[in-house]
Structure 1
């Protein structure tokens, strides 16, 4: 049967612009020339099966159901299985896979099923690694782990709350609008805490008073105001999302409600459309973004990891926060990157160095064991305490994206595109790298080989 000609140049062009990809970067990712891509975008050429496959494979969250009359999805899954670089075998040529799918569909489906099962086993291995690292027993995940995993499963974007916050934020026309709405609409007085009160904020519901810490910086003050307003304005939305979350324990649902209020506060201070457009315009320069929106460095980074609204996605970023002991206390990812959920993150990851060097931005080009490459930045931060007898909080935040998005990420300008990357992993327990001098312990499934006559940085092979 004759395949119909599919023209979708406007959609391709819109996708490229949303992701801040130059034509050269998009063409390279699709495996076509710049002139060929330009002809597609100008509706001069239809989408051929190879280009459609590349679009579906490279942008699965952005490019779905574009051609429901053929078997593109099955073919993409087969190519994904046959070319997975994390499997120790030579990848198959996509054209050969396409011929195999056409001539031996049952064999292709079996290959895809085996690949899916292998991926699930790797995911289970990561869960086991997390349980070992966190010391969790058979009692199931702790409430805060449930909430963190729920946000991850949602892609760290909560549509009804984000849209409600954006609509309210667009009605604010001056810097003190948060305070005025709390006072005028909800009858809440804003007061300053005593010097000896070390709490960030306290809400006195009986007397309708919000008491804010006396030493918090302006961006933290704004966030606390936005958080209290979100709890009041978006009560119904938060309640509905929490009720539909499927979280098992009441404690987890309560923590989720607080997390959703925090999410809404960030969306109030950094409304989706304005923030996404500014981020693309400024090439995700965090210092310029935080100055424009009155946010902290961490808040500005965190918000970038949430910009995944269907049809208006930003660059897919991962974001995390790491403390002085290497514990990952926040993690959100819109990328395929997997990193340790607790301690034990790869020591070659620059975020560990950043913790010890506050207020300096470090950059890194890193490569995972599966061949995926990421450009990333990290910065050490210090939050001062209210008194000498309380040590300040020290930690680092990291933000990164896949290397293909480097042209839209200002911090990648310090790195050489396609250059030598630092080989990092998730954690030593599940990292397959055999030649890492920083390995802390062997992989769980590795068979140790020890040679007493050979001395190396790591005293074993596997």
Structure 2
């Protein structure tokens, strides 16, 4: 099939419906598709056809929402072939998109084979990441550790749990007054809330028999509100949480219990930052986290995490990745609604600005970064300190990072100081699987690589591969 010469494809209503369903301004979608606003308007009004470049951009930018048009499978074939032929993470020169299009038209069997080989290569890379995780984590053979299984479950769900999120949003419409959560705990559930003893280092302690909830007195207001919301979520949404946990497919009791706790924390965030209101406010302030946390009474980390969960079907927010990194470089929280893959058990790329942020608390750093597959991201990172209740217990120091693909930079306030479209910092996932040959920060060579050592040449690292 020759797209331009044999048939003109008009599907403007589908494009318009997609944009409205995702609540994306016309200017933002035009930028993501690489066309002008007037060109996109003409497409939506059926005045211009969908050309192959626009179809490819739709497939790349909205892979889950943009389906095949009618029964024309060649559109999807073209998009997959161009992705395979231009994948920047594969060595050698990328193919020209026009050449790939001609290949689809003139040699369909050959291009299908190209796509199949590319799919097989991507699967092998995914398996390599799993092996890298196993080496780093020391996980037992034949199974995942409970917390690893729970993190993978949330990742598979897109970090959005519909039943819990909607239940929390419905309750939030009732609890619209200051201290309403604490009042509901007292009045509806008969919970007695009291300050914990000074020598009790637990954040909360609940006694079901006496209905007493002791809360640490050293917590800042946003942390106290979150923990009260978490307890209310357990009481109000217990059935929803149990239902999700029982249907999760997690094999061990410990994993299901950890998932229930994670769902209660998820519900607390959704209760404090209800989906529709929070999503609208985030777009209004261009995802300025400080403005969001002040408006919703949340912490910086809580607001970051909530932004990464805005993936409700038909009402998605910007696809963000979110992670939390401790002083030793361990990634203790992670989620990615983007193509970005995290090193799950430490060993993350030292060029990520999040590592620098750990050492510089209360300062926001931003970065334009590019991964080996050619994807470019804008991200911010901030170092945080959680004080302890005693000199004998050191404070918790870590950093959080939040980012999105460069195409969304205009909607991300932290990208304003970056030269988007310019030179990006080349980052990777883990040295063990990073293919970059010219990185001065490499800690060790990629797994199964063939090392070349020249005793007469001194390089930043003592080998090439």
TM-score by length of 2: 0.94
Number of the residue aligned with 1:151 = 154
In the aligned structure 2, how far is the partner of 1:31 from the partner of 1:391?
50
2:226 to 223, 227, 249: 223
Number of the residue aligned with 1:82 = 85
How big is each residue's C-alpha offset from its partner over 1:217-272, in whole Å with a ceiling of 9 and x where there is no partner?
11111111111111111111111111111111111011001101110110000000
* Higher mean displacement: 53-62 or 429-438: 53-62
TM-superposed CA distance for 1:32, in Å, is 3.0
Matching of residue 454 in structure 1 with residue 457 in structure 2: yes
* Higher mean displacement: 4-13 or 231-240: 4-13
The residue matched to 2:42 in structure 1 has which SS?
Answer: helix
Matching of residue 437 in structure 1 with residue 430 in structure 2: no
Matching of residue 236 in structure 1 with residue 242 in structure 2: no
The residue matched to 1:451 in structure 2 has which SS?
Answer: coil
Matching of residue 324 in structure 1 with residue 330 in structure 2: no
CA RMSD of aligned residues (A): 1.8
Number of the residue aligned with 1:393 = 396
1:353 to 352, 356, 364: 356
TM-superposed CA distance for 1:62, in Å, is 2.7
The residue matched to 2:129 in structure 1 has which SS?
Answer: helix
Q: Aligned in 2, Cα 1:91/1:283: closer, same or farther, shift over 3 Å?
A: same
In the aligned structure 2, how far is the partner of 1:59 from the partner of 1:252?
32
The residue matched to 1:414 in structure 2 has which SS?
Answer: coil
TM-superposed CA distance for 1:347, in Å, is 0.8
Number of the residue aligned with 1:405 = 408
After the TM superposition, which residues 259-298 of structure 1 pair with which residues of structure 2 at under 5 Å, given as runs? Answer: 259-298=262-301
The residue matched to 1:375 in structure 2 has which SS?
Answer: strand
How big is each residue's C-alpha offset from its partner over 1:364-414, in whole Å with a ceiling of 9 and x where there is no partner?
111111111111111110000011111110000001111111111101111
TM-superposed CA distance for 1:30, in Å, is 2.4
In the aligned structure 1, how far is the partner of 2:167 from the partner of 2:70?
33
TM-score by length of 1: 0.95
TM-superposed CA distance for 1:49, in Å, is 4.6
Q: Is the 8 A contact 2:205 2:215 kept in 1?
A: yes
How big is each residue's C-alpha offset from its partner over 1:71-109, in whole Å with a ceiling of 9 and x where there is no partner?
133332222222222112333333443443344433333
- For structure 1, the 5+ residue unaligned runs are none
TM-superposed CA distance for 1:13, in Å, is 4.1
Q: Is the 8 A contact 2:80 2:115 kept in 1?
A: yes
Q: Is the 8 A contact 1:13 1:41 kept in 2?
A: no
In the aligned structure 2, how far is the partner of 1:239 from the partner of 1:106?
49
Matching of residue 5 in structure 1 with residue 7 in structure 2: no
